[in-house]
Chains A and B, each alone.
Chain A
Amino acid sequence: MTHQIIIAGFGGQGIMLMGQLLAYAGMLEGKNVSWLPSYGPEMRGGTANCNVIISDEPVASPIVTEATAVMAMNRPSLDKFEGAVMRGGLLLINSSLIDKKASREDIEVCYIPANEIADQLGNSRVANMVVLGSFLAKTGAVSPASVIESLKKVLGPSKEHLIPLNEEALKRGAERVRECVNR
């Protein structure tokens, strides 16, 4: 099984972190992984995106051109990457910031009001973790426990107190996506 993932949004939404956590968690689970960011001027204030591959096979190209899943965190990301989802693939849309509906019929689309859920949790910055929770629940690419373990490594001991919040965000994202009916 090979998960070919595109995560996109604007700078500051924690796009790169989402991808790194997935790659890290995949590595912890003994899988082959790669994380490839967009880099350059577009990172500064514009859209940011990264490609993540989690696979049982060695990763050939780290570039995702046909995604098994796309997480679109803002409107320009949806416009740019809806077409990259492979037939039968998954498109997660942050409906808090994207008022547009997906146009594709041949893929699974879930709308997650990630910022609203994050606000309910008291910290809008965990919107990325909400969507990540939805993704994990849908795909089982890696376990939420591995993501949390990765997050501990990334945040370091000084930010250990943020772990429960992030755990909760993953959980709420997973719950929300189960209620999701396609279209």
Chain B
Amino acid sequence: MSKVLMKGNEAIAEAAIQAGCRYFFGYPITPQNEIPAYMAKRLPEVGGCFIQAESEVSAINMVYGAAGAGARVMTSSSSPGISLKQEGLSYIAGAELPCVVVNMVRGGPGLGGIQPAQSDYFQATKGGGHGDYHLVVLAPSTIQEAVDLVMEGFDIADQYRNPVMILGDGMLGQMMEPVEFRPLSSKRELPPKTWATTGYTGDRPRNIINSLYIDPQVLEEHVKKIYQKYEEIKKNEVKVECYNCEDAEIIVAAYGTTARIVKSVIQKAKQEGINVGLIRPITLWPFPTSTFEEWAQREHIKAFMAVEMSMGQMVEDVRLSVNGKKPVFFYGRTGGMVPEPNAILAEIKKVIGGVLR
């Protein structure tokens, strides 16, 4: 299939449809409005259903119902709306329902702004809602990658019965790039949804979608079972890109669109004779801990630096992974400000000067 030029938000919506998603429940918020608009137009064409819900709270609970009924279902929002969805996400994780949730992050806290940000990293990777659970968090840096990850995200959700979050930002949603809708390279054996509430006809046990376990012993067992699943996910699903690390003296950790800016910085730095590497986590949860561990042991790597559109969130996971073997620095802009290549480069030079002195 040939390439088409598409906005990130629209490409993500089309990818969901091509992945078999037929149900979408959402609520308007900038900068992700093209996703529900695209779904409202396209889903009826493929026999699906779009509802503009009365709130993000309702939308995520419609997702709960539809996922529980066995459908591939998606919702999307941006930061303040994703906060409202946290209740539902906790229930969905607790009830082990598969779904895909898109967060086109904007600056916060509060109403914040509408420009791109990465300040929802903690919320996305550390739980967000109440209780012991994780989302699988995928962070694309190009529109092509966003499309591929949305399609694979539905498979991951179905395989592990766990919600998957696509963590983008306003920039990724609004920009256009050529994109190709192609079948996934890896075919997964997906378990049949025998647990779905489709009607109790007597040919299987009664199905109940539920996250209530009033007996603490039983609840602990349930959570432990979910965490066994998370161990499997950690083993199987980590995705990470290492770029220009072989000869680097410093490694920058960045994800999403920030990683693209860092790649520009790396090219600039090369011209000045500075070798900078990039580790780009593609899965933010599970975090590519071992990749950082490995590079931290290399002699030629003097330091790490996380660059984020936040006040420093992923840097905590970088520090945990590097585990004191090398110093870890941070540079970030927030509130919708995008770090400038020259500023990042200046920061890198400062670190190199300091570490090597």
Contacts and interface: CB of A to CB of B under 8 A. Distances in A.
B125 interface: no
B297 interface: no
Contact of B178 (A20, A33, A40, A60): A33
Interface of B: 3, 5, 30-31, 114-115, 170-171, 174-178, 257, 260-261, 263-264, 267, 338, 340-342
9 contacts: A20-B5, A20-B176, A23-B176, A24-B5, A33-B178, A39-B30, A40-B30, A60-B263, A61-B341
A23 B5 contact: yes
A37 B267 CA distance: 24
A157 B257 CA distance: 35
Nearest to A153: B5
Interface on chain A toward B: helix, strand, loop, or mixed SS?
A: mixed
A61 B178 CA distance: 15
A60 B269 CA distance: 14
Given A39-B31, A60-B263, A61-B263, A33 B257 contact: no
B174 A36 contact: yes
Nearest to B243: A60
A60 B260 contact: yes
A39 B340 contact: no
A65 B171 contact: no
A135 interface: no
Given A24-B5, A40-B114, A35 B341 contact: no
Contacts of A35: 5, 175-177
B278 to A, nearest CB: 10
A65 B115 contact: no
Given A20-B5, A40-B114, A59 B177 contact: yes
A34 interface: yes
Contacts of B170: 39
Contacts of B175: 34-37, 62
